[in-house]
């Protein structure tokens, strides 16, 4: 951030009075520009035991598989965001259930909130950011071609919970991945 | 938003290609400035059955009571944010437990995430944004002087859950309050 989005003058990084963190503060009009984490809402959407996956058509991780997920927008609820992403990425109408997993990604300033959901019909198709959408059995999950650690972890947990017959909401933190 | 925080030129509200919502887009450098909901993290912190409350020293709702809560910062987890707010507002060291309540406030572009927590000691004191901090019994809660609906609702639920001996995480949506 270089300029004030309110008045267009330069911003400086400094600690405002009464604050403890450095913020981008406008040298002209004094506006403090806070930056905060974003919510990524997603859904493990199920029909007849199969899980809805999308192969990504866009960066990052184009060509790899994910559950429907994306940035929550202003004016919606977290569950509405998860349903919207499922509709946009997989053209599927999901009935969103409970919050299943929360992942903190402090190195990315993101909080993933993943719901379970039910698909009344098996209809799905590739949205504009998706190469293909598919309902897959547990045995068919492309574990080596999943786009994000959050997807791998939440699907592993989901299937483990399903085998033991009890789903339990959980919370986890993923630190930055080791550089290879 | 009037100006591009990257290059300082004017932004226009328009729908970027491939998007479905209007965004502030820089007419000069093309940067798209997304705006997303913010997370407010809070804590129902308990010591010996009493709940930690703070009387606000700042707007909005200065002079009214709240549980410790505030905007999550970049680089922290939601639970860390709840613990930090408890430390800053009530000078209290809380051991944050599970996520207890999630409130969508779509009209404010906020998501409240409220944890339960345990205070190993009864120590608390007013932080810089607080007039006074206190541990109060259920019978002492100033129901008519609570700062926010989210606080009222989560405390009501908390005490009801405590009476029945079972705490259950829940999720709710608060629409804009009726104008009086």
Task: Choose among B74, B99, B104: nearest Cβ to A37.
Answer: B74
> In A, which residues are within 8 Å of B82 by CB distance?
none
Percent residues over pLDDT 90 in chain B: 94
Q: How close A138 comes to chain B (CA, Å)?
A: 28
Pairing type for strands A95-105 and A32-33 reads unpaired
Tell me the shortest Cα–Cα distance from B15 to chain A, in angstroms: 14
Q: Flag whether residue B2 sits within 8 Å of chain A, measured between CB atoms.
A: yes
Contacts of B33 in chain A (CB under 8 A): 5
Residue B108 phi/psi, 5° resolution? -110, 0
Cβ–Cβ gap B35/A74 under 8 Å: yes
* Beta bridge partner(s), residue B51: B46, B136
Nearest CA distance, B160 vs chain A (angstrom):
21
Written as six digits, the tokens of A91 are 């053209």
Question: Does A3 contact B1 at a Cβ distance shorter than 8 Å?
Answer: no
C-alpha separations of B163 from B33, B147, B168, B172 in Å = 47, 24, 12, 21
pLDDT over threshold 80, residue B178: no
Option in A33, A37, A129 nearest B72 (CB): A37
Buried b (16+ CB within 10 A) or exposed e, A100-139: bbbbbbbeebbbbbbbbbebeeeebebbebbeebbbeeee
Q: How many Å lie between the alpha carbon of A139 and the closest alpha carbon of chain B?
A: 32
Residue B104: which of A7, A73, A77 has the nearest Cβ?
Answer: A77
State pLDDT tens for residues B143-169.
Answer: 999 999 999 999 999 999 999 999 999
Coil/strand/helix, residue A176: coil
Quickly count: other Cβ atoms within 10 Å of residue B38's Cβ: 18
Contact B35, B6 (CB under 8 A): no
Average pLDDT on A11-16 reads 96
Cα A105 from Cα B110, distance rounded (Å): 19
pLDDT score of A135 more than 70: yes
Residue A72 DSSP class: P
How close, in Å, is residue A72 to chain B by CA atoms?
6
Judged by DSSP in three states, A159 sits in: helix
Out of A34, A73, A102, closest to residue B21 by CB:
A73
Query: What residues of chain B lie within 8 A of the CB of A20, using their CB?
Result: 88
**Residue B18's closest chain A neighbor by CA?**
A128
DSSP type of residue A62:
T
**Are A75 and B33 inside 8 Å of each other by CB?**
no
The chain A residue lying nearest B24, using CA atoms, is: A5
ipTM above 0.90, yes or no: yes
| Reported pTM | 0.96
What pLDDT, on a 0 to 100 scale, did the predictor assign at position B180? 62
Q: What is the pLDDT of residues A31-54, one digit of tens each?
A: 999 999 999 999 999 999 999 999
User: Chain-wide mean pLDDT for chain B?
Assistant: 96
What tokens does A139 get? 């045995």
Chain B hits for A33, Cβ within 8 Å:
5
Q: Name the β-bridge partners of B71.
A: B40
Segment B60-84 mean pLDDT: 98
What is the pLDDT at residue A180? 62
Mean pLDDT, chain A, rounded, equals 96
A99: CB partners within 8 A, 6+ apart: A78, A79, A113, A114, A115, A169, B102, B169, B171
Q: Are A92 and A161 in contact (CB under 8 A)?
A: no
Q: For residue B144, give every residue at least 6 positions away whose Cβ sits within 8 Å of its Cβ, in sequence order, or none.
A: none
Chain B environment of A80 (Cβ under 8 Å)? 106
**Alpha-carbon distances, residue B59 vs A4, A82, A180, B103, B173 (angstroms):** 24, 33, 48, 21, 23
| CA atoms of A169 and B99, how far apart (whole Å) | 10
Kindly state the tokens that stand for B150. Answer: 């989210």
Integer Cα distance of A177 and A107 in angstroms: 9
Scanning A40-79 for CB atoms below 8 A from B yields: 71-79
Query: Could you read off the pLDDT of B77-99 as tens digits, one per residue?
Result: 999 999 999 999 999 999 999 99
Q: Please choose, from the candidates B47, B167, B165, B74, the residue with its C-alpha nearest in 3D space to the C-alpha of residue B114.
A: B167
For residues A32-63, b (16+ Cβ closer than 10 Å) or e, as one string? eeeeebbbbbbbbbbbeebbbbbbbeeeeeee
């Amino acid at each position: 951030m270089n300029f004030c989005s309110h008045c267009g003058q330069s911003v400086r990084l400094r600690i405002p009075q009464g604050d403890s963190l450095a913020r981008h503060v406008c040298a002209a009009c004094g506006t403090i520009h806070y930056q905060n984490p974003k919510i990524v809402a997603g859904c493990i959407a199920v029909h007849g035991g199969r899980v809805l996956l999308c192969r990504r058509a866009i960066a990052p991780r184009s060509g790899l598989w994910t559950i429907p997920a994306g940035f929550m927008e202003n004016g919606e609820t977290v569950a509405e965001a998860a349903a919207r992403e499922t509709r946009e990425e997989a053209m599927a109408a999901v009935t969103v259930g409970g919050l299943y997993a929360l992942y903190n990604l402090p190195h990315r300033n993101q909080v993933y909130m993943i719901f379970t959901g039910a698909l009344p019909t098996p209809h799905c198709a590739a949205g504009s950011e998706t190469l293909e959408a598919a309902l897959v059995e547990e045995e068919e999950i492309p574990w080596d071609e999943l786009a994000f650690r959050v997807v791998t972890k939440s699907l592993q947990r989901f299937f483990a919970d399903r085998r033991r017959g009890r789903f339990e909401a959980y919370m986890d933190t993923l630190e930055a991945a080791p550089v290879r």
